[in-house]
Copies of this chain bind each other. A is one copy, B any other.
Amino acid sequence: MAPLSTNATKVHEPRILVVGAGFSGIEVAKALEGTRARVTILDRHNYTLFQPLLYQVATAALSPADVAVPIRSLVHSANVEILLDEVVGVEVESACVRTSSGRRLGYDFLVLATGSRFNYFGRDAWASLAPAPKSLTDAIEIRRRLLLAFERAEMCEDDNDRQGLMTFVVVGAGATGVEMAGAIAELAKATLRRDFRRIDPAGARIVLVEAGPRVLGNFDDKLGDYAQKTLTQIGVQILLNTKVDQIDDEGIVAAGRRIEARTVIWGAGVKATNVAQWLGQKAGPHGKVQVKEDFSITEHPNIFVVGDAAEATGSDGKPLPGLAAVAKQEGQYVGDLLRRRISRDQTHRPFRYRDYGTMATIGRSAAVADLRGFRLTGTVAWLLWGLVHLAFLIGFRNRIIVALNWLWAYFTFQRGARLITGPLRQADG
């Protein structure tokens, strides 16, 4: 049996190591299929995750497998191999990557596509108190907490405890927070409405807390206003200009006011993974790595950073947003660049982000879409949001299954994955 290819050093078979199999990493690898490069994709998970729908796993609408596809099922070219491992550091001088299992993997070209994680702004202890929907494990944990809160409220004999169990705080009114708050409201007020005897789930209190002055601050004001109005209509209480000062097992303190809430979900901003630290580079805003026009880094033309970990700027000079579309296009660009480089094609094509717009969903028949200034709200935006997300989902099976789950949910108000898995009681219970 051959040794791990990344330890081999054949000049005519450049070793390309792609770390992270998200939107950008998968595109890099796909662009390099069938080339003479020996490509290795390294990821902590055996699947690539469709993060835009992860909040639906967290709110019991979809199953984990509906939004995750095995990496191995996506790349079948003999020159691409996949390793299930986790990077812990990069040795730039010796051109190799260290992993948590103790491997050292050499590379001729390194692509770091490790994405972002939620930013707790230095309050790392909050991560377990207020999980964020970033990984499948997070999403399943959030689902467990949401559903368990209603179960515990049903069995609770104390009015104050019950009120705390039936209060749900979502921190951050960006797209993630808006989607989570909207979905929790629908879960409580529609799905679970008839399911309890002692509590009225429709009476659940859902509070969306935002430090800034607006809902969906990254969107056009009209769309933010629409989201705010719609969330209020479906029963979400919105607190703007309200910074969270403290989170504990029983609730939060925000702008000096205490809110008793046993379930707190975090959705306030992301920061890059440890790429800057690995590379010994100074981290930019949100921990991102400053990249050159071709996504390589200063002094290391063979190391590329793409996706949420890269600080790239658009043609307008503004930083590109942390969107799936951006990550995908960056991955395609660097994959194509490497493909040409290893075939000694010297043509230079600058990166240009094709902006098709941004969208966020709020709830049933309610979404916002900003298609390069052409703005939509309501049912039309919601249908468009659904179609676009089905189109970008990976895999025929997942498209069909998700579409059916949505249709079923639309007509029945039910959610198909209402399972509490993991420990029956929370640590504090």
Q: Which chain A residues have a beta carbon within 8 Å of chain B's beta carbons?
A: 1-4, 44-47, 63-66, 68, 70, 72-73, 76, 78, 81-86, 101, 103, 136-137, 140, 147-148, 151-152, 154-155, 157, 159, 162, 192, 194-198, 396-398, 400-401, 404-405, 408, 412, 414, 416-421, 424-425
> Are B425 and A155 in touch, CB under 8 angstroms?
no
A101 with B425, Cβ < 8 A, contacts A46-B147, A73-B414 known? yes
Please, which residues of chain B bring their CB within 8 A of the CB of A194? 76
A85 with B155, Cβ < 8 A, contacts A63-B66, A416-B401, A418-B46 known? yes
> Are A65 and B417 in touch, CB under 8 angstroms?
yes
Considering residues A84, A136, A154, which has the most beta carbons from chain B within 10 angstroms of its beta carbon?
Answer: A84
Beyond known contacts A46-B147, A63-B65: 6 more, CB 8 A cutoff: A1-B162, A3-B157, A46-B420, A63-B63, A81-B197, A401-B405
> Are A76 and B45 in touch, CB under 8 angstroms?
no
> Are B418 and A151 in touch, CB under 8 angstroms?
no
Work out how many copies of this chain go into the complex: 2
Please, which residues of chain B bring their CB within 8 A of the CB of A396? 408
Please, which residues of chain B bring their CB within 8 A of the CB of A424? 44, 84, 86
Please, which residues of chain B bring their CB within 8 A of the CB of A419? 46-47, 64-65, 68, 70, 136
> Are A159 and B46 in touch, CB under 8 angstroms?
no
A404 with B400, Cβ < 8 A, contacts A159-B1, A195-B72 known? yes
> Are A408 and B414 in touch, CB under 8 angstroms?
no
> Whole-angstrom distance between the alpha carbons of A198 and B86 in the complex?
20
> Are B397 and A81 in touch, CB under 8 angstroms?
no
Please, which residues of chain B bring their CB within 8 A of the CB of A101? 155, 425
Q: Within the complex, what minimum Cβ distance (angstroms) separates A84 from chain B? A: 4
Partner of A47, one of B1, B63, B76, B418: B418
> Are A137 and B45 in touch, CB under 8 angstroms?
no
Nearest opposing residue in chain B for A84, CB measure = B151
> Are A416 and B197 in touch, CB under 8 angstroms?
no
Q: Within the complex, what minimum Cβ distance (angstroms) separates A57 from chain B? A: 10
Of the A-B pairs whose beta carbons lie under 8 Å apart in the complex, a sample of 6, sorted by A's number, is A1-B157, A46-B419, A83-B154, A397-B414, A401-B404, A401-B405
Q: Within the complex, what minimum Cβ distance (angstroms) separates A239 from chain B? A: 28
Please, which residues of chain B bring their CB within 8 A of the CB of A140? 421
Considering residues A65, A85, A397, which has the most beta carbons from chain B within 10 angstroms of its beta carbon?
Answer: A65
Please, which residues of chain B bring their CB within 8 A of the CB of A398? 416
Please, which residues of chain B bring their CB within 8 A of the CB of A103? 155
Q: Within the complex, what minimum Cβ distance (angstroms) separates A408 from chain B? A: 5
Partner of A195, one of B1, B73, B152, B157: B73
> Are B408 and A397 in touch, CB under 8 angstroms?
yes
> Whole-angstrom distance between the alpha carbons of A73 and B396 in the complex?
29
Partner of A416, one of B151, B196, B397: B397
> Are A136 and B421 in touch, CB under 8 angstroms?
yes
> Whole-angstrom distance between the alpha carbons of A155 and B82 in the complex?
9
Q: Within the complex, what minimum Cβ distance (angstroms) separates A401 from chain B? A: 6
Please, which residues of chain B bring their CB within 8 A of the CB of A73? 195, 414, 418
Q: Within the complex, what minimum Cβ distance (angstroms) separates A289 from chain B? A: 25
Per CB-CB distance, the 4 closest pairs between chain A and chain B, nearest first, are A63-B63, A65-B417, A72-B195, A70-B418
Please, which residues of chain B bring their CB within 8 A of the CB of A154? 81-83
> Whole-angstrom distance between the alpha carbons of A405 and B398 in the complex?
10
Q: Within the complex, what minimum Cβ distance (angstroms) separates A410 from chain B? A: 12
Please, which residues of chain B bring their CB within 8 A of the CB of A412? 397
> Whole-angstrom distance between the alpha carbons of A47 and B65 in the complex?
19
